[in-house]
Amino acid sequence: MRSSLRDASPRRFLMCPPTHFEVTYSINPWMDPAKPVDLPLALTQWEDLRDRYRSLGHTVELLTPRPGLPDMVYAANGATVIDGRVLLARFAHPERTAEEAVHRDWFRSAGYTELHEPAHINEGEGDFAVTRSYLLAGRGFRSSPLAHGEAQEFFGRPVIGLDLVDPRFYHLDTALSVLDDDGDDVMYYPGAFSPGSRAALARLFPDALIADEADARAFGLNAVSDGRHVLLPQAAVGLFDKLRDRGYEPIGMDLGELLKGGGSVKCCTQELRA
Ligand code: ARG
């Protein structure tokens, strides 16, 4: 048990309000078009997350939502940004391909000059997670294994490919979260990964926080950390004490309406790494 809390560092995030959020198609097991979505509640929940980031001293940039692109709220999928270099996304499902250009235009108008047009399917930070030493990369449901080599070449960081095997955890960010990107600290749910990937994770992160299935089902791994504060779905009750024991300050958020689209805290948050 640690006696002191860790240090936070200020972050810059890109988010997109769920103005046009709805569940009219199903591209992951969480999406049921027959289940109604409470749009005003979705907006309030999303605003709470945005305001929480700001009150913690982080910068939140906004993407303008477009009608007909209900999944735009999951801004994490639109790109991966490291050292100001932008690997744009290429979506697996046609329902989301029009989001690619919206992100590209945002980065251009925001003054980013190093943009990489992907040759292979990658769903941004849905499947890429940045630690101090590595770029962890999920595959199996969305991002192509070929995108891993492409990312390694563009970012010049060793990519660790991880095989996702449970359709409920279709993106890496539903199964693993980086807690401290200075210290290579992560939390993950082993059941989401193939045996070989599990072994690789155990070797790279022997001290990782291990989440159980109930916390993974509550989307507890879909978290955002600034090195100290960890924002995560409040329903992932089993993770709170484990995080406190490691010197983090967990902050429970309710994004219940956005969970109906198969996303939560992290999915709504793309990190713009300077
Ligand atoms: N409905 C979206 C999809 O299936 C949810 C994306 C969630 N985003 C994430 N980063 N896991 O693509």
Q: Which of 171, 176, 260, 271 gets mutated to test ligand 1 (max ligand atoms within 8 A of its CB)? A: 171
Strand partners, 270: 14
Class of 12-271 in CATH: alpha beta
The tens place of each residue's pLDDT in the chain, 274 residues long, gives: 565 899 999 999 999 999 999 999 999 999 999 999 999 999 999 999 999 999 999 999 999 999 999 999 999 999 999 999 999 999 999 999 999 999 999 999 999 999 999 999 999 999 999 999 999 999 999 999 999 999 999 999 999 999 999 999 999 999 999 999 888 999 999 999 999 999 999 999 999 999 999 999 999 999 999 999 999 999 999 999 999 999 999 999 999 999 999 999 999 999 999 9
SS3 23: coil
Instruction: Output the pLDDT for position 4.
Output: 86
Pocket test for ligand 1, best of 21, 25, 28 (most atoms within 8 A of CB): 28
- Closest residue (by CA) to atom 8 of ligand 1? 267
Best CA proximity match to 211, nearest among 160, 260, 219, 203: 219
Distance CA 16, CA 262 (A): 16
Count of CB atoms situated within 10 Å of the CB of 207: 10
CA dist., res. 64 & res. 18, Å (int): 10
pTM above 0.75, yes or no: yes
The C-alpha atoms of residue 148 and residue 152 are separated, in whole angstroms, by 6
Domain ranges of the chain: 12-271
Q: Is 229 a catalytic residue?
A: no
Give the H/E segment covering residue 204.
helix 195-204
- Token pair belonging to 256: 């219940």
Vertex 229, ends 223 and 235: CA angle to 5°? 45
